[in-house]
Amino acid sequence: MTGFVARRLLYILIALWVISLIVFSITQILPGNVAIMILGEHKEPEILRALETKLGLNDPAQVQYMRWFGGVLRGDFGSSIVMDRPVLPLLWERLQRSAGVAIVSLLLTAFIGIVLGVVAAVRDNRFADHFVSVVSFLGISVPEFFWGIVLILLVAGHFELLPTSGYVELAKDPVGWMKHMVLPVATLTFTLMAHVSRLTRSSMLDVLRTQYVRAARARGLPERSVLYKHALRNALLPTITVLAISFGWLMGGIVVVEAVFAIPGLGGLFVFAIQQRDIPLIQGSIILIAASFALANLAADLLYTYLDPRIRYAPA
């Protein structure tokens, strides 16, 4: 098993490095460069060239990359051009805001999605199954930005229960923070949970049709034990993979949800960075997103390894 973990770690490090290469290459192709952005559009060419040289923009690409990547490894992501602040602290501050929504959504998704999926599989073709089917179908068919808007309309427009935009610091005002979280989390969770429940249901159905579940029934074991002790653990293995993939989707969803609910988080920052072509900010955001995704995947892999005895105790 240590071999498995070692390989995964190695692979993740390499993947992060490749992503840094990709992101760097893309930002090299971006029209305009840092110097133009600092000075504005209409400056004399000589001043522009001088600044470019000073900033090292005329050096070959490899050198620029090494400089940037070296900085990243040291923790220096450069400075945002538009906002004129160091990138990393900026990212970190925004990340903390997004993390709240993300973590709560992910936990709710995992819980609700798995429960619904299992219930639907166990009560296959009965009412509960059809109900879950319909609900999850809605969840995967409606874009989350539309959900967000609908929720805003309903909640704020008619009932005026919850705030529909903005953000409040958790430390300063826990209740306010929670109130502001409800709608964004609901929007994200609904769609994610739909995917997870469908896949859990499918995986559970597969397991319920296996020979070993049949054999367990043939031993006269109570149905409860067959479902939860024998079937569920094996059915959850693919679900863990799905949750890891959902993490990636979650980050995409955060971008949209923060736009809809005007939350000043990482997603909003990324959109802003792209709109403004703020290169250091773009690079930093991508690295951060990739790193979080990689960590989530690693956690999923470790969990998978722990749960599946076939990997943990490979045949001697």
Partner 1 sequence: MGSDAQPVLEVEGLSIDYRTEAGTIRAVDGVTLALRRGEVLGLVGESGSGKSTIASAVIRLLAANATVASGRILLAGENLLEKSEVELREIRGNRLAIVFQNPLTSLTPSLRVGEQIAEIVRVHKQASREAAFACAIELLARVGLPDPATRARSYPHQLSGGMQQRAMIACALACDPDVLIMDEPTTALDVTTEANILDLVAELKQRVNAGILYITHDLGVVARVCDRLAVLYASQVVEQGSVEELFYAPKHPYTIGLLASVPRPTPARTGKKLAAIPGRIPTLGSTPTSCAFGPRCPFACNGCEERVQTLQAIDASRQTRCERHAALTGVAWPAPVSDAAVMPTTTEMRVVQAEDLTLIYRADGWLAGVRLARGGPLGLRLARDDAGVLAVDGVSVALCKGETLGLVGESGSGKSTLGRMLVKLLDPTRGRVLVESNDIAQFTGAALRACRKSFQIVFQNPESSLNPRHLIADILARPLLVHRLATAETVAQRVCDLLRIVQLPIEYAERYPHQLSGGEKQRVGIARAIATEPRFIVCDEPVTALDVSVRASILNLLTDLQARLGLTYLFIAHDLSVVRQVADRVAVMYLGRICESGLVDDVFAPPHHPYTRALLSAIPVPDPRIARSARRLRLPDPSGAPTTWSGCNFYDRCPVRINGVCDRRPPTLRTPKAGHSIYCHHDLAALQAQEAPARELARTEAA
Partner 2 sequence: MMSTLADIPGNVPSRSGRRRPTWRLALERPTVVIGGLTVMALIIIAIFAPWLVNFPHDKFHIVDRLLPPNPRYWFGTDEFGRDVYSRVLIGTRLSLLIGLAATAVCMLIGTPLGLLVGYLGGKIDEFTMRALDIIMSFPSIVFGMLILSITTPSATKTAVVVGIVYAPAIARITRSVTLSIKEEEYALAARARGESHTYIIFGEILPNAWPPIIVEASLRLTFAILVAASLSFLGFGAQPPDTDWGLMIADARPFMAGSPWIALFPGLAMCLTVFGCNLLGDGLRDVLDPRAGFSGGR
Residue 126 found at the interface with partner 1 (CB under 8 A)? no
Query: Locate tokens 């826990």: which residue?
Result: 174
Q: Select from 37-45, 83-91, 214-222, 239-247 the region that touches partner 2 (CB under 8 A).
A: 239-247
Q: Which residues pair with 79 in a beta bridge?
A: 86
- Residues that contact partner 1, how many (by CB under 8 A): 33
Q: Which does 146 bind (CB under 5 to 8 A by kind): partner 1, partner 2, none?
A: partner 2
DSSP code, position 158: I
DSSP code, position 80: -
In the bound state with partner 1, the residue whose beta carbon lies nearer, of 179 and 217, is: 217
Site string for partner 2, 149-168 (x = CB under 8 A): xx-xx--xx-----------
Residue 257, classified by CB atoms within 10 Å of its CB into exposed (0-12), middle (13-18) or buried (19+), is: buried
**Do 80 and 281 touch, CB atoms closer than 8 A?**
yes
Q: Please provide the DSSP assignment of 96-147 as one string.
A: HHHHHHHHHHHHHHHHHHHHHHHHHHHTTTSHHHHHHHHHHHHHHHS-HHHH
Q: Select from 11-19, 51-59, 77-85, 122-130 the region that touches partner 2 (CB under 8 A).
A: 11-19
In the bound state with partner 1, the residue whose beta carbon lies nearer, of 54 and 233, is: 233
CA angle 97, 95, 30 (to 5 degrees): 130
Residue 56's φ and ψ, nearest 5 degrees, are: 80, 20
Shortest CB 295 distance to partner 1, Å = 19
Site string for partner 1, 199-228 (x = CB under 8 A): -----------xxxxxxxxxxxxxx-x---
Summarize as ranges the residues that interact with partner 2 (CB under 8 A): 11, 15, 18-19, 23, 26, 29-31, 137, 140-146, 149-150, 152-153, 156-157, 195, 198-199, 202-203, 206, 238, 241-242, 245-246, 248-252, 255-256, 259, 270-271, 274-275, 277, 282, 286, 289-290, 293-294, 297
